Structure 1
Amino acid sequence: MKPTREQIRRAYIDACYQEIEALKPGNVHRFADGHRMNAGQFFESAQVSSHAVSDPALSTGQRILAAVTATRNKIGTNTNLGILLLCVPLAKAAETGDPDLQASVTTTLEKLGIDDARDVFSAIVLAQPGGLGSAPKHDVSIEPEVSLLEAMREAADRDMIARQYVTGFADIFTGGLKAHKAAVDRDERGMWPAVFIYLHFLSAFPDSHIIRKHGNLVAEKTRQEGERNLRRIEGLTDGKEREKVLLAFDVQLKADGINPGTSADLTVATLFALKLNLALHNVEVNA
């Protein structure tokens, strides 16, 4: 089934909302603000960016730039650059109606050109993400000379979002969706499937955002702490006890200025992919 633009837009908003409702240690969520941002800003960002994300008249790069511009004009800070870099290709791929969403994403990524790179570079400069510095090749402050896919390939060994572009979003379609399925199979409900997606990414890889701001050692230490907390809450059945554990971890990370932003971005993209798959297979999107 080929989803409508409104179905894609709603799936995107729902994925963003579901992620911000989940207790994600170190990141912004409805339980606690952080890093000079609050949950309300993320809810607004989802709404104002949704129109560009789902606009079939725009290219991938144009959608990302338009969505970042709309967010910047409304919120005044970067709340969703990573989310948009991941979700826009998913939205564009879903428009084809191909039930194999990952194959369609791969095709979408392969078609990215130098114009997409130009628009995305402009979006990155406009968003001013934390920890962004110069790069030896394909610096975003310089006019691009290669396609967006080639630029992402150059950064893939140091950035998890760039890595998705060159692997066909493999970490989302395997790791993220697998973590969600495992949680659902355990009868996790409410926010918990999203929490377990987040903790999967936090514990599986050193978070790229942490690496950019604090370095590899801090990122690896955070990954190890994420893994310990994941195992701990897996062993608990009481939701309030789980919340206490995660909130303590949350306070610790925020006190140190550590924000696993890439893990959160990958969580949104996983939830969006899940909802798009449901739409593509004619299943109620909110199921």
Structure 2
Amino acid sequence: MMNFNFKNIVKDAGTVLSRAVQFTEEKLGKSDKTELDANLKTLLERAENTKKYTERIVENAEAVLVPNPGNRIEDLVYEKIEKQRPSRLSNLEYLGLDMVEAGTTLGSNSAYGGALIKVGQWEQKLGQIERDFVGSAGMCFTHPLRKFLDTEMKAILKEQNTLELKRLDLDACKNRVRKARSMLGQMAAERDLRIAQSEFDRQAEITKLLLEGLGTSHAAHLRHLYEFVETQARFYSQCTTVMTDLQRELSSTHQPGPVLRLNSEELEPLSTNKYYDDFFTSIPIKSFQNPQL
């Protein structure tokens, strides 16, 4: 059987009730509220803005890196349980695989089939580059920011909440001192007030120290931001190189021939497709002549 300390239970219940009464009276305008000093207020406002915008930046960055919401949730779950997230192909890689399969099925020796295979292979290269970018961006940017929210920011919020509770205790004691009717009751209330003031001041100092540490966190976030930009620039540079190489490859295999003009419309160059050659050479020349001339 568990050993309950009845006195502590009663004391804790009394504290909770006292705080609830104080909070209610403040909301109703029936009780004064101890104001924090201006510096602490400024630090708390900076912390609130840091939390809000860091959450938004992380959320939007992850949406860019992993557009599929289901995949994002799955990755977050694996991260929380500290297990390696499942490896999945990128959309570009799936596109590339389908192109290669289509080109092989339609005929790798045909112009279209051969081009499908070649483009599909390059799309797979792009997909691999994209996957590497997503992993690197996560490691250097989104993961550190999310870790900040889950550790430092939670610690600040915890101490901030404790400070608010100590403030409620302090103001409740101030009210008891004002309402004390007897000398004995006033002495007891003043003793409680001194204790509450001391605990509030101590908690305010602890909270202030944590809030001042946000400057160091901002400096770390700045480094992560620079690393993200470098990673992104490298990603786009690699993509540009791949696409430039692909264009060069396609140009080298595409030799344009003379253009046939039929009813003022340009058709595909004849030499690029033997089926066009066979079809048009089987039609008498007079078929292309304008009967009005």
TM-score, normalised by the number of residues in structure 2: 0.23
Q: Which has the larger radius of gyration?
A: 2
RCO greater where, 1 or 2, for CA within 8 Å and sep 6 or more? 1
